[in-house]
Amino acid sequence: MIAARELRKEYGEFVAVEGSSFSVAKGEVFGVIGPNGAGKTTTLKMLAGLLEPTSGTATVAGFDAQNTEMRSRLGFLPEESPLYEEMTALSYLQFFADLYDVPTAVAQERIHETLDELGLDHRERQIGDMSKGMKRKVAIARSLINDPEVLIYDEPASGLDPLTTNYIIDFTAQLAADGKTIIFSAHNLFHVESICDRVAIMHNGAIIANGDLDTLQEEYGTTRYRVYTTVEVPNSVQENGQYCRTVESMSAVERTREAAEQAGGVVTDIRTDESSLEDVFLNIAEAEAKQ
Amino acid sequence: MKPAKILRIARWELTKNAGGVDRRTLGVVAVAVVLLVAVAPVVAFSGVGLDDELYRVGISEESEFAPVVAEDNTFAVVDDATVQDLESGQIDLYLADTAVHRSDSEKGAAAYEEFRDSVATYNEQQLRQEPNHSAAFPVEVIVAFEEQTGSAVIVGAPDGEEPLPEQDQDDADDGQPADEQQEPSGDEEDEGQPAADEDTDTDEALTEETDEDLPADEADDGDPEAPEPSDGQELEEEDEQTGPLAEFLGPLSEDGLTGSPADITPPFPFQSLVLAFLFVIPLNFVIQAYGSTILSERINRRGELLLVTPVSRTDIIAGKTLPYFVGAMALQAVLAVGAVWLLRGELGGFISVLALTPLVLLFLGSTFLGAMFARSFKELTFVTVTITVSLTSYAFIPAIFSDIDPIALISPLTLVVRDLQNETIALSEFLFSAGPPTLVALVFFTLGAGLYREEDMFDQRSMSGKICDSLVGPITSKWHVGLVTVMLIPFVLVTQLVAVATFFALGELAIVLLFVVVAVTEELAKTFHIYAAYEHNRFERTAKSAVVLGTISGAAFFLIEIAILVFQLIGFTELEIGEALLLFSGVITGPTEVVLLLPPLALHVATAVIGAFGAFRSKRTYIVAVSLAMLVHLVYNLSVVMLFV
């Protein structure tokens, strides 16, 4: 559904995106993560047809990203929600529905349905008078006004309170469940981890890792073992009346057990912790920084 | 382009702010508009009356001044007042039988001065009502305004002591005093009436009788030798002004005035001034709103979401521009039709509306481009003020002199003024006036549209950077350099025409100044986009590419020489400065001598290559190189003048 081939974007001497290639299958949720300035937004804007690549190609729903026809099949949500604040939510959404050639009756039904799902009640209120979260919901409703096959969401929950953030993340997950193809960027890696099928990690304009979460964890993550003992051993911390030592290998687990027995105690429990996406990201970023 | 989408965006542009105005505000605005419409005509025709009954006056029963006071609303008559009331301050003036007494105060002095003016005005009115003008005005001067032909305006006197215009000499030969010729005495008067008097009907005081008894067509019949108004410009014979405001504005064309010596004033084209003012000023309000709406799309990335809809940027721009264009045109149409009705008492003004279209487009086009360059509303203010001053000067000042010099035709407003004066406008004149601003407007819209994309709309580059961006936008191959050069030709043309209009009164110095403007504008137009293209890495920075791009640009620019040929078709070269402008093209001796076109072609190519050579290296070398190219261009032009003139 989405394919990027050697996408490159230059601004004069500065290279914002350097040869990015990836693809997203229909119905898949694809996350793009990376530090600020990594090239995430530039990549998403090239996919949305807003930016023309210096070289490389991007296709969305079978159309070149620069093709106007492609835009009818796309819902784009930029990081900021630049709305026309002097309009009401309803008139704003109807205006965009007209631009997408959505019949008025269909548009009205879709607008109210989406706003119901998003829990936005003040539809006749001017957008300028709405809270940030409400504005974001209007922006999301606008991205869905043409019932697009592909959604490109750039930081959809950026700057919102936890309640609204969770609402929007859940709503995005629901859209994915409904079969939309979603490409999604976020700084909050927990959100990405919770709804994305695959993830690309960008750094300095390049994709440095790309795959499903299991693969990334296997390749870049680490497994940690928490060894609980009845007596204190070196590097352990007291936790609920026991002592816990975190190690990164089975041999270290064995050494911990021997140390506990020498001190007259025993190992009561061993737990395994898999790396989170955040750990993976930090590991990769750290490795990149060292290079 | 998709008309439905354009109209939808236009409708949105009109209505998007509707939600921000509540019904109460709308009601207040509506009431204000109704009041304004109701009050405006009253104010226009009777004045605001701020000084009505300002001075209190006592009058004796026998006073001869009673009619003067009755005619002037400035004075309020205090009944049964006596001269003693001056001391108590109850009255400011006391009018005795033949004497005037005033109170010993500043107000009394002011009242006295006002009264003296009122007496003078009253006396003048009485004299003008005398059936025998010879008795009322023993000395009368006829001033005839002639089309400028390089000689001074001819001023003649009816006694034949001074040279008279040809038609007046005929009159003098008849032995009739001029004042008698103005008497309403039937056909005889037609023969003796100077043609210049045809338009004096609106000056009630001077030519009340001739207005009724001397129709313009009859006057022409009786005076076949009356001079033509100008080259190729024929006054409509039925040049009557019978509209409600005709008297207020004075004669449509100040071809001549008669009256007492006190009436002689410099031939200031008051009416042209008023008409030009009328049409230009509203446009400045329209562009404020238009510039704001374009810039507001760029603030906080508001316009970004429109760019991801299946609507082309051309449609977005057209949709956002349409309401302002239609609104401005409607306003101009109302003004044009209204002006025709007020001045001539008839419906008309179609040509005026047509002629105003390029002006409206030029205002909107330049504002659009300016709003795409500006990074903030503060900068937009600077941009719109610059546009207002430049375009108002371009349109307004030449139009004031629409009756005086053909150079006035560089402004489309001149067409409007002439149309309102019921003059015939030749097609070539129309094209000469309307063509360049239309093309410049299209160039501005094209360059602005090149910036109407995500990469350029929302960044904070400097204005010079944005100008570079806009010029580079269309350049994707070396041939596009020539295309951009051609696009800039109308802009160069208009700049040079404005320079002609600005400098034409300076004689030989004007020619030198004009050539400086020519060299600067043409060399920039040929090479600045080449520099911008190198800055955007469109081409390899090599000497070879500089030669190629310079040659393409120089050759493309040579097309301007063909455009200049058009000037000759409308007599532009009859002016000395117009002739000078054409000399460098080598076509002054005739377009058939093709060989003479080669030197200017070589000049343009050579100077463009010089500029391109500097452009491919750095900004500093470009400045040096283009300055050198300008110097070469200037020396060439001056050499041609010295050799052939």
Domain range annotation of chain A: 2-218, 224-273
Tell me, yes or no, whether B30 lies in a domain. Answer: no
More confident residue, B641 or A4: A4
Q: Which of A95, A122, A130 best probes binding to B when mutated, by most B CB atoms within 10 angstroms?
A: A95
d(CA A170, CA A179): 14
> Out of A72, A82, A87, whose CB is closest to B310?
A72
Mean pLDDT of chain A: 86
Same domain for B86 and B151? no
* Residue A231 at interface with chain B, using a CB cutoff of 8 Å: no
Tell me, yes or no, whether B405 lies in a domain. Answer: yes
Same domain for B496 and B621? yes
> Out of A82, A91, A99, whose CB is closest to B309?
A99
Q: Find, in chain A, the residue whose alpha carbon is nearest to that of B454.
A: A50
Which residues are paired to B95 by β-bridges? Answer: B59, B100
More confident residue, A214 or B592: A214
Domain of residue B432 covers 268-473
More confident residue, B144 or B503: B503
Tell me, yes or no, whether B275 lies in a domain. Answer: yes
Q: What is the pLDDT of residues A151-207, one digit of tens each?
A: 999 988 877 777 888 888 888 888 888 888 999 888 777 778 788 888 888 888 888
Tell me which amino acid residue B429 is: E
Q: Find, in chain A, the residue whose alpha carbon is nearest to that of B6.
A: A99
- DSSP state, residue B423: B
Q: In Å, what is the CA distance from B140 to each residue of A2, A79, B198, B414?
A: 91, 81, 18, 33
Q: Find, in chain B, the residue whose alpha carbon is nearest to that of A81.
A: B302
Q: Of B165, B151, B161, nearest to B256 (Cα)?
A: B165
Same domain for B318 and B445? yes
Subunit contact B301:A76, Cβ cutoff 8 A: no
Tell me, yes or no, whether B385 lies in a domain. Answer: yes
A152's CB contacts (< 8 A; 6+ apart) are: A44, A47, A48, A74, A75, A76, A77, A182, A183
The listed range with the strongest mean pLDDT (A35-39, B474-478, B522-526) is: B522-526
Helix (H) or strand (E) holding A160: none
Instruction: Read off the pLDDT band of B252 (50, 70, 90).
Output: very low
- A194 exposure class (CB count in 10 Å sphere: 0-12, 13-18, 19+): middle
Same domain for B351 and B226? no
Same domain for B406 and B357? yes
B95's CB contacts (< 8 A; 6+ apart) are: B57, B58, B59, B60, B63, B65, B66, B69, B101
Instruction: Read off the pLDDT band of B46 (50, 70, 90).
Output: low
Tell me which amino acid residue B434 is: A
Subunit contact A86:B19, Cβ cutoff 8 A: yes
Chain B residues close to A48, C-beta within 8 Å: 308
User: Phi/psi of residue B421, each to 5°?
Assistant: -85, 5
Tell me, yes or no, whether B528 lies in a domain. Answer: yes
pLDDT mean over B11-18: 78
Gap from B613 CA to chain A (nearest CA, Å): 21
What integer pLDDT is reported at residue B188 of this predicted model? 38
The answer to whether B393 and B487 have CB atoms below 8 angstroms apart is no
B171 has a pLDDT exceeding 70? no
Tell me which amino acid residue A237 is: V
Subunit contact A100:B300, Cβ cutoff 8 A: no
What integer pLDDT is reported at residue B262 of this predicted model? 60
Subunit contact A50:B304, Cβ cutoff 8 A: yes
Chain A residues close to B465, C-beta within 8 Å: none
* Residue A68 at interface with chain B, using a CB cutoff of 8 Å: yes
More confident residue, B194 or B435: B435
> Out of B17, B308, B536, whose CB is closest to A71?
B308
d(CA B211, CA A83): 64
- At CA B597, angle to CA B591 and CA B600, rounded to 5? 135
The DSSP bridge pattern shows strands A2-11 and A55-60 to be antiparallel
What integer pLDDT is reported at residue B624 of this predicted model? 94
The listed range with the strongest mean pLDDT (B66-75, B320-329, B488-497) is: B320-329
Tell me, yes or no, whether B8 lies in a domain. Answer: no
The answer to whether A51 and A42 have CB atoms below 8 angstroms apart is yes
**Weakest mean pLDDT among B218-232, B522-536, B619-633:** B218-232
A158's CB contacts (< 8 A; 6+ apart) are: A79, A80, A186, A187
More confident residue, A41 or B202: A41
The answer to whether A138 and A81 have CB atoms below 8 angstroms apart is yes
Q: Of B562, B590, B561, B567, nearest to B428 (Cα)?
A: B567
Which of B96, B128, B160 corresponds to the end of one domain? B128
Subunit contact B454:A45, Cβ cutoff 8 A: yes
ipTM value > 0.95: no
Q: In Å, what is the CA distance from B535 to each residue of B474, B613, B614?
A: 14, 13, 12
Q: B-contacting residues of A 80-99, CB under 8 Å?
A: 80, 82-84, 86-88, 91, 95-96, 98-99
Subunit contact B309:A96, Cβ cutoff 8 A: yes
d(CA B549, CA A228): 77
Same domain for B388 and B283? yes
d(CA A208, CA A222): 18
Gap from A83 CA to chain B (nearest CA, Å): 6
d(CA A135, CA A123): 11
More confident residue, B25 or B388: B388
Number of domains making up chain B: 4
Q: B-contacting residues of A 237-256, CB under 8 Å?
A: none
The DSSP bridge pattern shows strands A267-273 and A224-229 to be antiparallel
Which of B230, B263, B296 corresponds to the end of one domain? B263
Subunit contact A86:B310, Cβ cutoff 8 A: no
B219 has a pLDDT exceeding 50? no
The listed range with the strongest mean pLDDT (B199-213, B491-505, B623-637) is: B623-637
Tell me, yes or no, whether B641 lies in a domain. Answer: yes
Q: B-contacting residues of A 177-216, CB under 8 Å?
A: none
Question: How many cross-chain Cβ pairs, A to B, lie less than 8 Å apart?
Answer: 67
The answer to whether B180 and B172 have CB atoms below 8 angstroms apart is no
> Out of A50, A83, A95, whose CB is closest to B308?
A50
* Residue A66 at interface with chain B, using a CB cutoff of 8 Å: no
Same domain for B352 and B408? yes
Helix ranges restricted to H, chain A: 40-47, 68-71, 89-99, 104-118, 132-143, 162-177, 189-195, 213-220, 250-262, 277-290
Q: Find, in chain B, the residue whose alpha carbon is nearest to that of A42.
A: B455
**Weakest mean pLDDT among A89-98, B130-139, B295-304, B538-547:** B130-139
d(CA A145, CA B221): 75
User: What's the first-to-final CA gap in chain A, in angstroms?
Assistant: 34
A237's CB contacts (< 8 A; 6+ apart) are: A243, A244, A245
More confident residue, A146 or A276: A146
Q: Find, in chain B, the residue whose alpha carbon is nearest to that of A71.
A: B310
B228 has a pLDDT exceeding 70? no
Same domain for B214 and B251? yes
Q: Of B604, B601, B608, B600, nearest to B625 (Cα)?
A: B608
Which of B473, B494, B512 corresponds to the end of one domain? B473
* Residue A150 at interface with chain B, using a CB cutoff of 8 Å: no
Instruction: Read off the pLDDT band of B391 (50, 70, 90).
Output: confident
Same domain for B239 and B174? yes
**Weakest mean pLDDT among B19-23, B133-137, B285-289, B423-427:** B19-23
> Out of A82, A87, A126, whose CB is closest to B300?
A82
* Residue A158 at interface with chain B, using a CB cutoff of 8 Å: no
Instruction: Tell me which fold the domain A2-218 belongs to.
Output: Rossmann fold (3.40.50)
Subunit contact B310:A71, Cβ cutoff 8 A: yes
More confident residue, A259 or A120: A259
d(CA B200, CA B250): 8
Same domain for B468 and B447? yes
Q: Find, in chain A, the residue whose alpha carbon is nearest to that of B21.
A: A86
d(CA B529, CA B475): 9
What integer pLDDT is reported at residue B426 of this predicted model? 81
Q: Which residue has the tokens 């207002």?
A: B388
Subunit contact B305:A82, Cβ cutoff 8 A: yes
Mean pLDDT of chain B: 74
**Weakest mean pLDDT among B152-156, B239-243, B429-433:** B152-156
What integer pLDDT is reported at residue B211 of this predicted model? 37
Instruction: Read off the pLDDT band of B351 (50, 70, 90).
Output: confident
Q: B-contacting residues of A 259-288, CB under 8 Å?
A: none
Tell me, yes or no, whether B569 lies in a domain. Answer: yes
The answer to whether B256 and B332 have CB atoms below 8 angstroms apart is no
User: Phi/psi of residue B358, each to 5°?
Assistant: -60, -30
- DSSP state, residue B153: P
- B513 exposure class (CB count in 10 Å sphere: 0-12, 13-18, 19+): middle
pLDDT mean over B440-445: 90
What integer pLDDT is reported at residue B269 of this predicted model? 57
What burial letters (b/e) apply to B132-164, b meaning 16+ CB within 10 Å? ebeebbeebbbbbbbbeeeeeeebbbbebeeeb
Q: Which of B309, B316, B469 best probes binding to A when mutated, by most A CB atoms within 10 angstroms?
A: B309
B432's CB contacts (< 8 A; 6+ apart) are: B409, B410, B566, B567, B570, B572
A 10 A CB-CB count for A148 gives 21
Gap from B531 CA to chain A (nearest CA, Å): 15
pLDDT mean over B542-549: 92
Instruction: Read off the pLDDT band of B263 (50, 70, 90).
Output: low
Instruction: Read off the pLDDT band of A145 (50, 70, 90).
Output: very high
**Weakest mean pLDDT among A284-288, B314-318, B435-439, B466-470:** A284-288
Subunit contact B20:A99, Cβ cutoff 8 A: no
